[in-house]
Amino acid sequence: MPVNSPPLLPEQLLPINGITLGIAEAGIKKPDHKDLLVVVLNDGAKVAGIFTQNRFCAAPVVLAKEHLAQQSIRALVVNTGNANAGTGEAGLAHARTTCHTLAELLGYETQQVLPFSTGVIMESLPIDAIVKGLPKAVADLKADNWFNAAHAILTTDIVPKAASKQIQLNGQTITITGIAKGSGMIRPNMATMLGYVATDAVISQPLLQEIVKYAADHSFNRITVDGDTSTNDAFMLLATGRAGHVEITSQGSTEFAQLQQAITEVSAELAKMIVRDGEGATKFITVQVDDGGNSKECDKVAYAIAHSPLVKTAFFASDPNLGRILAAIGYAGIDDLNVNEVQLYLGDVLVAENGGAAPSYREEDGQRVMNQSDITVRVVLNRGTATTTVWTCDFSYDYVKINSDYRS
């Protein structure tokens, strides 16, 4: 089960005025499984997003980018069970058919629909199943369907990932609700998963685009499960403008800062849920690097630790073989690193300083921390004031089992 994750309840998720969601069991990969989601937006809604940097990006990513550039987006469609990636021109044709079919059902233009897919790569999309399933999803459209929507986008995930939050802007209540999927193929290179966050705030598309970039950099781009970047990653931010008359018009305004912070908090909550539900995960690990010369070198150290199979397997075994962390710091790529200035903490325990084990360190202290399910690794570089935080998990036997059985 996911690491220290309380169960998600339907009543925890708040509807967003201007958005309805519909779910269907289309039988894309297996029967009796929610695998198709349609999201419909009110006229005038604003949409912003960022996508994977994988050069083998999926057909729906290519098409979504094209359609998003034209704006006036009225619907999103998400299928699981098949990524429609590595499928060439046929994949693009299938993505277009998906958008066209949904657009006809809703009375919109094809380019007003954004497609998303997740699942097995380099297999032909079962377009007939999707075309047959779309009318069922449209018939299911309702505002309070976020809980089912969170289930409908899962692949190897064990649990759904969703969160809601409300804030006050000049006396006006603003609602934010988001869902995400992700469990494996998770590495920060934008966007590391599929994520959809919506708000009823009144804001322009350019300002919304600034928020989605900031939120991703402080949430979904701070997580890693296995160091792999998917072909289908996307993080979309939707704003219906139905909250009232408090319009956010300036990036320098207090209202913009408040909305950006709230959306980032929801995004970070979803991102951490992904790590806690990492394939086979038994430990949730926070890697914090402080006092770096700049953020880039802090990131290098954090990801060297977070991506290391040796470090991750040691955490799975609860084995305080902490020299593996020192080794990762050393190969992170800081050419002028003075190892005598580096301090390493495991939880509240000082492990290393002055180039070696701290005189006060005792293995039983390290063992006490390693036995916990939530663990913080803190590296102090003593080179400046920059800092970064990354969230990751351990590698267990189940990670291998899940990925070796993925297509069966």
Span between the terminal Cα atoms of the chain, in Å: 21
Q: Say which amino acid occupies 79.
A: N
d(CA 400, CA 349): 31
CA distances from 203 to 47, 209, 260, 364 (A): 10, 10, 11, 54
Reduced to 3 states (helix: H, G, I; strand: E, B; else coil), residue 193 is: coil
Reduced to 3 states (helix: H, G, I; strand: E, B; else coil), residue 46 is: strand
Peptide bond into 191 cis (omega under 30): yes
Half-sphere exposure of 38 (CA within 13 A, CB side): 29
Q: Looking at 192, 199, 229, 264, which residue is catalytic? A: 192
In sequence order, the 6+-apart residues with CB closer than 8 A to the CB of 294 are 384, 386
Compute the Cα dihedral for 392, 159, 215, 95 and give only its sign.
positive
Specify whether 192 is catalytic.
yes
Burial zone of 75 (CB within 10 Å; 0-12 exposed, 13-18 middle, 19+ buried): buried
Alpha helices in 107-172 (DSSP H): 127-139, 146-152
Report phi then psi at 259, rounded to 5.
-65, -45
Reduced to 3 states (helix: H, G, I; strand: E, B; else coil), residue 34 is: coil
Report phi then psi at 32, rounded to 5.
55, 45
Could you tell me if 203 and 212 are in contact, meaning their C-beta atoms sit under 8 angstroms apart?
no
Tokens of 214: 């900031």
> How does DSSP assign 196-221, residue by residue?
EEEE--EE-HHHHHHHHHHHHHTTGG
Tokens of 40: 């419909």
Beta bridge partners of 357: 352
Query: DSSP letter at 14?
Result: P
CA distances from 362 to 94, 197, 370 (A): 60, 45, 13
Query: DSSP letter at 162?
Result: E
Could you tell me if 190 and 208 are in contact, meaning their C-beta atoms sit under 8 angstroms apart?
no
Residues recognised as catalytic = 192
